[in-house]
Amino acid sequence: MPTPDQRAYRDAMALYAAGVAVMAADDGVRAHALTVSSFTSVSLRPPLLLACVKEESEFLPVVRAARRFSLNVLREQHADLGKLFAAAPQPDRLAQILRHPEQSPRLSDPLGPLARFECALRAEHPAGDHAILVGEVAGLECDPSGRPLLWWRGALGPAPAPLGADA
């Protein structure tokens, strides 16, 4: 099997549907956030999750300094938020994030995220052009009645109904 070039690798990875979340952290002056689709559960005891962030992102130094972050799993209705926080920082996007003195920032959208994890940064591992951030979950909120937003084939979209679910 030949070693893939970057384009072939990206195209192949785009075939894997992934959930979409907005990570948020606070530098003491303002909230910072970005869209991620590389996140997963790591451990139940203790509850750990990981998320991958580009080394060159403006977000990474904020998380390193704050030592905490939130991970907000987006609903199918949140495609605009997913796009907003995936793009270059824009002044108006901070209106979509609420700061909190004792927690990491959260989405201001009235629907709220499908799930929200409040995490303490426990470890960081270098991984090519990304950093793998491991967070210990200190709190969570979830709404199992919603459906997630997915990233698949280079586009955001709703998840299909689960197999066997009522239509």
SS (HEC) of the chain? CCCCCHHHHHHHHCCCCEECEEEEEECCCCEEEEEECCEEEEECCCCEEEEEEECCCCHHHHHHHHCEEEEEECEHHHHHHHHHHHCCCCHHHHHHEECCCCCCCEECCCCCCCEEEEEEEEEEEEECCEEEEEEEEEEEEECCCCCEEEEECCEEEECCCCCCCCC
Q: Please, what sign has the CA dihedral across residues 42, 130, 121, 28?
A: negative
Q: Of 49, 37, 41, which is closest to residue 122 (Cα–Cα)?
A: 49
Using a pLDDT cut of 90, give the percent of the chain over it: 54
User: Is the pLDDT at 166 greater than 70, yes or no?
Assistant: no
The pLDDT score that the predictor gives to residue 88 is: 78
Cα 39 to chain centroid, rounded: 7
Nearest to 18 by CA among 157, 151, 158, 116: 151
21 has pLDDT over 70: yes
Q: What is the pLDDT of residue 101?
A: 74
Whether the Cβ atoms of residue 47 and residue 137 lie closer than 8 Å to each other:
yes
**92, pLDDT greater than 80:** no
Span 57-85, pLDDT tens digits: 999 999 999 999 999 999 999 999 999 88
Most confident listed range (40-44, 95-99, 149-153)? 40-44
Could you tell me the residue ranges of all domains in the chain? 19-152
- CATH architecture group of domain 19-152: Roll (2.30)
What contacts 96, CB < 8 A, 6 or more positions away?
33, 81, 84, 85, 107, 108, 109
pLDDT at 48 over 90: yes
Q: Read off the pLDDT band of 130 (50, 70, 90).
A: very high
Give yes or no for a contact between 74 and 82, defined as CB atoms under 8 angstroms apart: yes
How large is the average pLDDT for residues 126-143?
96
**This prediction's pTM:** 0.89
pLDDT exceeds cutoff 70 at 120: yes
